Amino acid sequence: MTTPGPRTDAEVPGYLSRLGIPGLADIHVHFMPDAVLDKVWDYFDHADTNYGTPWPITYRLPEDERIEQLRTLGVRYIPSLNYAHKPGMATWLNEWNREFAGRVDGAVHSATFYPEPGAAACVRQAMDAGARLWKVHVSVSAFTPEDPLLDDVWPLIDEAGTPVVIHAGSGPLAGEFTGPEPVRRLLERHPRLPLVIAHLGMPEYDAFADLAQQYERVHLDTTMVATDFTERLAPLPDGYVDRLGSLSDKVVLGTDFPNIPYAYAHQIEALARLDLGDEWMRKVLWHNGHRLMGA
């Protein structure tokens, strides 16, 4: 029996109390420099053209109000998850990430990297500054994780054990380098890489679940999956829910806040509808993310 999930944001704290967990450990939250976020929101404002479906931003709020919204919901860790999409961008994004982590209580010091000369030095600099969570986006940034310019980066990540939230699945839009095979080949070279596959790797759900089963430090984040919105675009395949149940220690809450076209509570409600039990929900909503992001 699974406790029914919250239907509104106001119901989230009470739901967490009923589960007996201290809050939410959401590994997939975005905070960005205003100029970057404005461009992201503009892209979603044209989602009819870009994705073939409307994508209204539910939490189009000033930064301080977004932070307060998360705290009201019970989110205990606040990543920034910026990602570079061109040379020279990672360094200044990482400086912004460092500043964000220094001024926001509960922030998870996040960082990014890009395949360019000096990428390893950029990663070392971010690590020395305290970065403990990374974000890369294969389709938006248009690079393969196998790029030779990253050959010196992955061993640093491996040794540090700091998780990398990697958007590598082919949804909502496929790219030249998306899909499970580049990630699989990367893991064959570095089998202990702590990768967190964003969106459960949609729509290649099963192939990325295979990687989570095979590799000890590979996790899957729940960002947008099982929601009414995503089930229309990339529904979970037959038998997949049972796989999620067997991967209870490898699945971690992700939401894509603030860039979601529905209330935050709906992500939690959608996961509860999978009916995998309250202990599964406790692990996904809190314990697994706490283990990955806890200081």
| Alpha-carbon gap, residue 95 to 101, rounded angstroms | 10
Contacts of 47 (CB under 8 A, 6+ apart): 53, 54, 55
Q: Can you tell me whether residue 53 is helix, strand or coil?
A: coil
Distance CA 249, CA 5 (A): 20
Residues 247, 249: Cα–Cα separation, whole Å: 6
Output phi, psi for 75, to 5 deg. -75, 120
Between CA 211 and CA 216 the distance in angstroms is 9
Helices (H) and strands (E) in the chain, counts: 15, 8
| Calpha distance 111→84 (Å, rounded) | 10
User: Model pTM?
Assistant: 0.98
As a whole number of Å, the CA-based R_g of the chain is 18
Q: Taking a C-beta distance cutoff of 8 angstroms, is the pair 197, 208 a contact?
A: yes
Name the stretches of the chain with pLDDT < 70: 295
Return all residues near 54 (Cβ < 8 A) that are at least 6 apart.
47, 48, 261
What is the predicted pLDDT for the residue at 295? 58
Q: What is the pLDDT of residue 119?
A: 98
At CA 137, angle to CA 84 and CA 240, rounded to 5?
A: 165
Report DSSP state, residue 199: G
Question: Among residues 90, 84, 87, 158, which one has the least CA distance to residue 129?
Answer: 90
pLDDT at 1 (0 to 100): 85
Whole-number pLDDT of residue 91: 97
Model pLDDT, residue 13: 98
Please report where in the chains the tokens 């979970």 appear, as a residue.
Answer: 236
